[in-house]
Amino acid sequence: MEPEHPLQAGGTPQWSQVAESVLAPLGYEVLEAGLKSGKNPVLLVRIERKDEVPISIADLERANRALSAHLDTLETLLPARYLLQVESPGADRPLFTARHFERFAGLKVRVRSPQGNFTGRIGAVRGDMVEFLLEKDETRSLQLGTFKATLAEWPDKPR
């Protein structure tokens, strides 16, 4: 069965949903997806494995082939020429869900929020609240969905 083509109002594709519809059945979670326009447009898709095993080159190739084949059916929604770039999250790995924060607990993250930007360690995760440990024994708790966070350090062993 062909995946659906999720569209926003006005007919603009929601690239994360398009990528998720293709890659989720293959065992991948789409962390980010977006079309960066310009002289050489790039459709960038960042993925990780749902089983939390580190992404391999073979995973990236598999995801790229599957997504590329699907995108060929959406050619009217894409620029005539574009580059598909499928990659692992890398050093600036974004964190979105409670599980992401639980998985990387204790590591430093960069946080951007309406209450201000800061760097701190991930503390406790309780429901949709994440606690961050800052310098001088200060803590800050934020609700998921109200801030953006990326890893500021990478774990010694895959998590």
> Along the 159 residues of the chain, how does pLDDT read in single tens digits?
333 434 333 444 689 999 999 999 999 999 989 888 888 889 999 999 999 888 999 999 999 999 999 998 887 777 778 899 999 987 778 898 999 999 999 999 999 999 899 999 999 999 999 999 998 889 999 999 999 999 998 777 766
Whole-prediction pTM: 0.73
Q: Which long-range contacts (CB under 8 A, 24 or more apart) does 61-70 make?
A: 62/26, 63/23, 63/26, 63/28, 66/22, 66/23, 66/26, 67/19, 67/22, 67/23, 70/3, 70/18, 70/21, 70/22
Range of the domain at 123: 94-151
| Residue 104 C-beta-side C-alpha neighbours within 13 Å | 26
Same domain, residue pair 103 and 71:
no
49 domain residue, yes or no = yes
Same domain, residue pair 20 and 81:
yes
Contact 142, 150 (CB under 8 A): no
Same domain, residue pair 66 and 44:
yes
